[in-house]
Amino acid sequence: MEAEIFDLVVAGGRLANGAAVDLGIASGTITTIVPAGTLSEEPRVELDGALILPGLIDGHIHLDKTLLGLPWIPHVPGASVRERLQAEKALRRSLPKPMVARARRLVELVVTRGTLALRSHVDIDQEIKLAHLEALLRLREEMKEVIDIQLVAFPQSGVTSVAGAAYLLDAALAAGADLLGGLDPAGIDGDIEGQLDILFRLAAKHGVGLDIHLHDPGELGAYELRRIAERTRASGLGGKVAVSHAFALGAISDAAFGATADALASADVAIMTNGPGAEPRPPVTRLAAAGVTVFAGSDNIRDAWSPYGNGDMLERARHIGYLNGLKTDAELEFALDLVTGNAARVLAFGDCRLVEGGRADLIAVAAANAAEAVAASPPRQVVIKAGRIVARNGQIVTY
Amino acid sequence: MEAEIFDLVVAGGRLANGAAVDLGIASGTITTIVPAGTLSEEPRVELDGALILPGLIDGHIHLDKTLLGLPWIPHVPGASVRERLQAEKALRRSLPKPMVARARRLVELVVTRGTLALRSHVDIDQEIKLAHLEALLRLREEMKEVIDIQLVAFPQSGVTSVAGAAYLLDAALAAGADLLGGLDPAGIDGDIEGQLDILFRLAAKHGVGLDIHLHDPGELGAYELRRIAERTRASGLGGKVAVSHAFALGAISDAAFGATADALASADVAIMTNGPGAEPRPPVTRLAAAGVTVFAGSDNIRDAWSPYGNGDMLERARHIGYLNGLKTDAELEFALDLVTGNAARVLAFGDCRLVEGGRADLIAVAAANAAEAVAASPPRQVVIKAGRIVARNGQIVTY
């Protein structure tokens, strides 16, 4: 073979099926998969038997909220979502470091941990207006060679209950937001159909998908899920709508769960979970068995909402697997799917399998197979985006 | 000061209250705490502003079960505890590597993660008899300079339902086990009073404490907790009895919880949790508020029961904090107590506060304070046991 045919050779890795392989990469694509020891071209990276997995995907993060890089800020509790919103806004005004500097630090952190695509919600409210969105659009451009960033215009303060919110969301979509967000139509706005009217109307106007935060509990939340499924079906948005958190799915009767899961599956509405701690949790395997696409995200990473979080999606898969009692190899592989294949489908990033012709977004870890990678969550030795090494051993490579 | 007065100077660290200090250590004790920059003696370790915390304590581990160091072994599910017991025994017979080699590897791993004392349950059954216990007693002796190990004679297969079990447990205590274990008096033996009769009789005979595995659910488990509390009170064993797991406390009415927590508190029976995933969880803050001592442990670390676990007790504190919604600094400090002060009390390892005259078991991490250390669970930079450096940056120092 001629030396110039590959931009990079990934040598001596193992695939999840155990095969020891060399990968030849050109123009961001895996063009050749051959037995280890076959390819001698430069430039190359030697994996010494490490396991190759697809790049990880964070399906739900808030880049504009993180406090990373600032001195420790103690959590200020709030009894209600509204109270915590006020606490967050007060904090936001007091921060010494520009949002985008903190966001950049977080993006660099997640890249070192193997996240190569993410969906970030971005606050749109009367105070911030489009400032966060515009800053993150610029950051996305700046970092496009190391990570794919999807931005959701997120009405953190409400939609129908906040004057001018629909106008701002419309402007955010015109300014380049990839999706429209929503938030607890009942719990925040007190107007389920009112909020959904606006969300589905703006989604249709701009040809974008939806990703709706839903913390509303129990039967109320389940009802809203079914309303979202019905509107998704009616508007032909199947495959482009996700509901994030959906705590309700973890705290309803079997009958209500069955009806709600069926509605979500037939409308092709996906469910995002981060494996919440104290709240009820969507049962990921039951949802998958019902045909619902489930994917995972970090949610808050050291921000006004939570002091926890580190952006490590392999650890997140482990966490969700642990919470859901996933133990067999097949179950652990399903946990990995939440942060790879399933997330890729929801984010419309296409097939992320490691096959000839596939996208050369991958990570290498010391593990025997995907099951061990999830259970042990070992450090990322090499992180490769579109055929370029972007991080090694926890350090980002200059971009 | 004279050079020979300290075995080690820990220089330039910070205490949880923010004070920048040098520690002088002699004969395993912190003899001097002075402002940073005061002590110039050698030998010394420079912490460069890292936070000093007490050595971590793992209150519940199974050193003899781990599969660490073996090639990946897929999990074999079992529908019941009895089925999983049979699967474990079949696996145990097939393992190529001696138990003690795996246990040593696990101990070394946890030491690198800052665990300087642990309580391990050790299977005692008709097949193993005292072999695991005797091997771990030797390992304890071999590693006594790097870690304190407490061994519980654990009837994993049952007590009254297994012929000769009481005899073996008696022999195990005579052979040097520090405590006596138990297991689901209802669920495994079908004889609550029968198992407790044997446990409390042998505890009295050998002058040891008890640590009883209790997975029995709901009202049944709560009833057993109250029976254990009553027997503890009657036998004067308060402060020497712990119940591990106690899932029941997470799945009973408020009234039953209140009565059970009060019984545990007044009898001084402690509760160990590892923050289970799919099972109900003891609510740690409600228990603490009722006066119950709560401590934490790893439980299974990659064994026949679970593919998860890594022996990192700071990460375990983070996990339990996350599951219980602990977010404020005070709440995060409480999570740390589960793996330091509270565990030290239960294991009778005395006061572990970092004060002059206190034990020189400590770790250093990059964090502003205890709250950040729990929320972020940063790597252990230095681990010091009884005034000797036993691990640095994830590597054990030769012992």
pLDDT band at residue B1, thresholds of 50, 70 and 90? very low
3-state SS, residue B307: coil
pLDDT of B122-168, one tens digit each? 999 999 999 999 999 999 999 999 999 999 999 999 999 999 999 99
pLDDT, average across residues A96-105: 93
3-state SS, residue B32: strand
- Identify all chain B residues contacting A215, using CB atoms and an 8 Å cutoff: none
| CA atoms of A280 and A6, how far apart (whole Å) | 49
Option in B319, B324, B328 nearest A278 (CB): B324
A312 vs A110, A112, A299, A377, CA distance in Å?
Answer: 6, 9, 11, 9
pLDDT of B299-349, one tens digit each? 999 999 999 999 999 999 999 999 999 999 999 999 999 999 999 999 999
Residue B96's pLDDT is 84
pLDDT, average across residues B361-367: 98
3-state DSSP helix/strand/coil percent for chain A, to nearest 5?
A: 35, 25, 40
Model confidence at A139: pLDDT above 90:
yes
pLDDT, average across residues B185-190: 97
Contact B318 A308 (CB under 8 A): yes
A300 vs A157, A282, A346, A351, B205, CA distance in Å?
Answer: 16, 18, 20, 27, 53
Contact A376 B310 (CB under 8 A): yes
Residue A4's pLDDT is 65
Query: What distance in Å separates residue B169's CA from the closest CA in chain A?
Result: 31
Domains of chain A and any CATH numbers:
3-55+351-396 (2.30.40.10), 56-346 (3.20.20.140)
Query: What distance in Å separates residue B375's CA from the closest CA in chain A?
Result: 5
Option in B77, B308, B372 nearest A72 (CB): B372
Residue B179: which of B213, B198, B203 has the closest Cα? B203
With beta carbons less than 8 A apart as the criterion, state whether A25 and A360 touch.
Answer: yes
pLDDT of B28-77, one tens digit each? 999 999 999 999 999 999 999 999 999 999 999 999 999 999 999 999 99
> Across the A/B interface, how many CB contacts are shorter than 8 Å?
73
Option in A75, A322, A367 nearest B328 (CB): A75
With beta carbons less than 8 A apart as the criterion, state whether B249 and B265 touch.
Answer: no
- Identify all chain A residues contacting B324, using CB atoms and an 8 Å cutoff: 277-278
Predicted interface score ipTM higher than 0.90: yes
Q: Across chain B, which distance is largest between two alpha carbons, in Å?
A: 65
Model confidence at B97: pLDDT above 90:
no
pLDDT, average across residues A180-207: 98
With beta carbons less than 8 A apart as the criterion, state whether B87 and B78 touch.
Answer: yes
B236 contacts: CB under 8 Å, gap ≥ 6: none
Token pair for A69: 């890089």
Model confidence at A51: pLDDT above 80:
yes
Model confidence at A193: pLDDT above 60:
yes
Residue A1's pLDDT is 46
pLDDT, average across residues B78-83: 84
Other beta carbons within 10 angstroms of residue B301's beta carbon come to 25
Model confidence at A246: pLDDT above 50:
yes
The answer to whether the pTM exceeds 0.90 is: yes
Report the residue of A17, A75, A106 to disrupt the B interface, i.e. the one with the largest count of B CBs within 10 Å.
Answer: A75
pLDDT, average across residues A341-370: 95
pLDDT, average across residues B212-226: 98
- Identify all chain B residues contacting A368, using CB atoms and an 8 Å cutoff: 71-72
Percentage with pLDDT > 70 across chain B: 99
Residue B122's pLDDT is 98
Option in A71, A72, A77 nearest B371 (CB): A72
Contact A324 B278 (CB under 8 A): yes
Percentage with pLDDT > 90 across chain B: 93
Report the residue of A273, A279, A299, A322 to disrupt the B interface, i.e. the one with the largest count of B CBs within 10 Å.
Answer: A322
Contact A369 B329 (CB under 8 A): no
Query: What distance in Å separates residue B76's CA from the closest CA in chain A?
Result: 7
Give φ, ψ of A379 to 5 degrees: -60, 155
3-state DSSP helix/strand/coil percent for chain B, to nearest 5?
A: 35, 25, 40
Model confidence at B2: pLDDT above 80:
no
With beta carbons less than 8 A apart as the criterion, state whether B270 and B242 touch.
Answer: yes
| CA atoms of A159 and A196, how far apart (whole Å) | 9
Contact A372 B72 (CB under 8 A): yes
- Identify all chain A residues contacting B74, using CB atoms and an 8 Å cutoff: 328-329, 371
Cis peptide bond N-terminal to A43, omega within 30: yes
Listed range (A53-62, A265-274, A339-348, B78-87) with the worst mean pLDDT: B78-87
pLDDT of B261-309, one tens digit each? 999 999 999 999 999 999 999 999 999 999 999 999 999 999 999 999 9
Option in B307, B368, B376 nearest A327 (CB): B307
Pick the residue from chain A with its C-alpha nearest to B370. A72
Contact A75 B325 (CB under 8 A): no
Option in B277, B310, B325 nearest A323 (CB): B277
Contact A329 B75 (CB under 8 A): yes
pLDDT band at residue A85, thresholds of 50, 70 and 90? confident
Contact B323 A368 (CB under 8 A): no
pLDDT, average across residues A123-132: 96
With beta carbons less than 8 A apart as the criterion, state whether B117 and B150 touch.
Answer: yes
Q: What is the mean pLDDT of chain B?
A: 96
User: Could you give the angle at the alpha carbon of B207 between the alpha carbons of B205 and B210, nearest 5°?
Assistant: 100
Give, as one character, the DSSP assignment of residue B65. Answer: T
A386 vs A16, A140, A148, A344, CA distance in Å?
Answer: 20, 16, 10, 15
Model confidence at B3: pLDDT above 80:
no
